[in-house]
Structure 1
Amino acid sequence: MKSPSDYERRIVAMVDSFTKTVARNFSRNLKRATANEEKHYSDEPIDYFLENLSHEDRYPSDYFVLYADELSCVVHSETLYKALCSLPEKQRNVLLFDFWYAFTDVEIAKRMEVTTRTVYNLRRRAFQAIRTFYEQGSSEP
């Protein structure tokens, strides 16, 4: 067998250097990609997509409607709906006007034809009644 010439040795050295460089770069890119994937990987990617891309369907049977005079107020919690229904009408109206429509005490007083102090007292009694309702409801089995 003939010994390789200088030209052949150079070609072999170039191919050897090229393959080593390709292997080294491939290994570096693989390590980089793995580190990047671990940094951005979520354990629950489906939850992420559902949270960001989905929407919750709402049907009329999913919520409850209360009326304060001619204004409607949608309540999504059944417990809160029952608590509000257990209140006398004036107390319920004060809460609905205050929290659903953001009326001031003066506006509520004019609308209900009472004083602002009466509005304050009705709201306080309503809060106490709802607190009692929730305490009784949470102690039931």
Structure 2
Amino acid sequence: MDYYALQGTRGSFEGTRGFGDPPRIWLEELEPADRPGKSGPSVHWRLLAEFEQEFIPDRVAARADAARTGHGGSDYWTMKAFVDAFRRGEPSPVDVYRALDCSLPGPLALESARQGGVPIDIPNPRDFT
């Protein structure tokens, strides 16, 4: 189980915390804080699903297709973006450098763990020759 959260001054996102727990969002423009600048619960969270049709209707429409692919549907969207770019004659939205930016930390983290947790610099693939 993974948990993602993003906190900002005018909005926040909290991902699923467990099975059946839906992702939530707070946006100041929709739900102003009761107690701005104070600690403690002061915002009204809404279910992220309330905004799906407005902001990501293509993802809602393709949910069944995406569910048949790996990694919770993310493989579907990665391949769709690549194929769509290819069909339009445009560059892929994820180039080789961005792919390496996302991939290199994994094996280097494993190597760090094998060495007792020593820090290992992650190289910038743009510097590869």
Class of the TM-score when normalised by the shorter of the 2 chains: under 0.3
**Structure 1 or 2: larger helix share?**
1
In the superposition, the TM-score normalised over structure 1's length comes to: 0.21
Larger RCO (CA under 8 A, 6+ residues apart): 1
Give the structure with higher Rg (CA): 1
Using structure 2 for the length normalisation, give the TM-score: 0.22
